[in-house]
Amino acid sequence: MTHKLESSEIVITILSQLNEYNAGQALRLKNNILKQTKSIKDPRLGGVYMLHEHFPEPGSWTIIPILKLLYKNNKNAKWFLFCEENAYVNYENLQLHLRKEYSNESIWMGYGVKDKHPTIIHHYAFEENENERVAYPLFAAGFVISAGLLKDIANINVETFGSDFSIDASYELALVINKKIEHLPLKFCLKLSPDCIVHPLSERSDCTHYGKVTKDSIYFAVKTCSKFHSNRVPVLQSTWGRDAVHIEYFSDKLDDTIPTTVLDVPNTERGHCQKTMTIFKYLSKKLLSNKAVKWIALTDDDTLLSVPRLASILSCWNGQQIALGQRYGYNIRGDQSLGYNYLTGGGGIILNVALVHKLTTCKCYAPDAPDDMVLGMCLKALNATVVHSPVFHQARPQDYADEYLESYPMISFHKHWMIDPIEVYRHWLYQDSSFGHDEL
């Protein structure tokens, strides 16, 4: 059965971010959607929201805090589409498909993925029976929530749901909705096909007009300690360390074979806040006279990454005072004035040098406080721009769904645990030269 569906009954939310590059991508998508509606008879699009403009709160990227607002502000809408800024939306295909669905029913649809084994990013929650595992939408392929389901969600207190930490927005949204997603891979696609409603663009914008970032403009600061000098450091030096023009290893003991730099900071088993902030002060002073270095990349000694790809993607934010990496959140679904976003350290934290100079005033509440979280608090206090990119990873490749890894290029992974790190580097990250603008 086909239902009459007018474009005023569809609301689209683009998961955009507040910085020149990402906001520009989102605006391109919004304008393209509006252009498509002009060729549809009597177009009355319910609205195209850009997340950074309409929902600027720190936790909006998790989707959960904005669901009540979307329902409250769009009582006449029947369907709510969510998509990333680097996507293409076929508005006609969207209408054709939704005419066949019932918006008053509690349904949602997208490209559903499931964990194949327990993973740290989902707190090792796992059902042996595959049919009982949580399926969560691949954001890169978009997803749709019915007005009926949104009404149900609006009536529950989702802000207090689950952990104080926000790690994987898609998985955590699926836990809140607690209803099986309709898996429609021919509508919400990994790659373009004729019936796609949403698919990620394989070609990303050419960012070279901002100015090309070269490898010699990035300074790598590697956190290590003596117990890892003989195992982790050699792996790093034999893989991505060879591509780094500027690299310095910060340790608790001198080792001229590496060589290491020792700062007047006691080593801690975890947290490393005092060590990180001391590194920032050291590098701020050291690089004051080195105008060629524009970026500082803070990594662990078991971080695996691609230097050429990092240089390539940094062109999109060339000259901007940003912090870039994989974003997590703390206490951002409840009282958001208390919460903040932070970049998780294992996948690498990339900072504009001008921002590092400002961070020298950042204080640790304890020497072993979690450095990435304290850094997040300091960035919030500075009102600095924190940029999330799905190309950075806090965990190993096997900790992510295969389809997720297919959706984006790779820049980093983290940890050597139960893997061959050199093989992971060769398979996922190695290349002879930078990938082009079409894979940013």
Q: What is the pLDDT of residues 211-260, one digit of tens each?
A: 899 999 999 999 999 999 999 999 999 999 999 999 999 999 999 999 99
Which contiguous run of DSSP H or E holds residue 54? helix 51-54
One-letter identity of residue 188 = F
Domain membership flag for residue 208: no
Domain membership flag for residue 3: no
Q: What CATH number should be reported for the domain holding residue 33?
A: 3.90.550
Last residue of a domain, one of 170, 200, 230: 200
Strands 79-84 and 10-15, sheet pairing: parallel
352 and 233 co-located in one domain? yes
Domain membership flag for residue 437: no
174 and 301 co-located in one domain? no
50 and 164 co-located in one domain? yes
Domain membership flag for residue 435: no
pTM of the predicted protein model: 0.93
What is the reported pLDDT for 126? Answer: 63
What is the reported pLDDT for 5? Answer: 66
107 and 25 co-located in one domain? yes
Query: Which residues are 221's β-sheet partners?
Result: 248, 298
What is the reported pLDDT for 393? Answer: 97
239 and 177 co-located in one domain? no
One-letter identity of residue 140 = A
Q: What CATH number should be reported for the domain holding residue 244?
A: 3.90.550.50
Count of domains forming the chain: 2
What is the reported pLDDT for 205? Answer: 62
88 and 226 co-located in one domain? no
Domain membership flag for residue 17: yes
Domain membership flag for residue 2: no
What is the reported pLDDT for 437? Answer: 40
Spell out the long-range contacts of 190-195 with Cβ–Cβ below 8 A and sequence spacing 24 or more: 190/111, 190/138, 190/140, 190/141, 190/403, 190/406, 190/407, 192/88, 195/93
Question: Using an 8 Å Cβ cutoff, are 188 and 141 in contact?
Answer: yes
Per-residue pLDDT of the chain (440 residues; tens, 9 = 90+): 667 666 579 999 999 999 999 999 999 999 999 999 988 776 567 899 999 999 999 999 999 999 999 999 999 999 999 999 999 999 999 999 999 999 999 999 999 999 887 777 776 666 667 777 899 999 999 999 999 999 999 887 766 666 788 999 999 999 999 999 999 999 999 999 999 999 999 766 678 777 899 999 999 999 999 999 999 999 999 999 999 999 999 999 999 999 999 998 888 777 789 999 999 999 999 999 999 999 999 999 999 999 999 999 999 999 999 999 999 999 998 766 689 999 999 999 999 999 999 999 999 999 999 999 999 999 999 999 999 999 999 999 999 999 999 999 899 999 999 999 999 999 999 975 444 443 44
Q: Which domain holds residue 331?
A: 215-429
219 and 86 co-located in one domain? no
276 and 378 co-located in one domain? yes
87 and 195 co-located in one domain? yes
262 and 361 co-located in one domain? yes
168 and 242 co-located in one domain? no
Domain membership flag for residue 300: yes
342 and 391 co-located in one domain? yes
| Cis peptide preceding 185, ω within 30 of 0 | no
What is the reported pLDDT for 282? Answer: 98
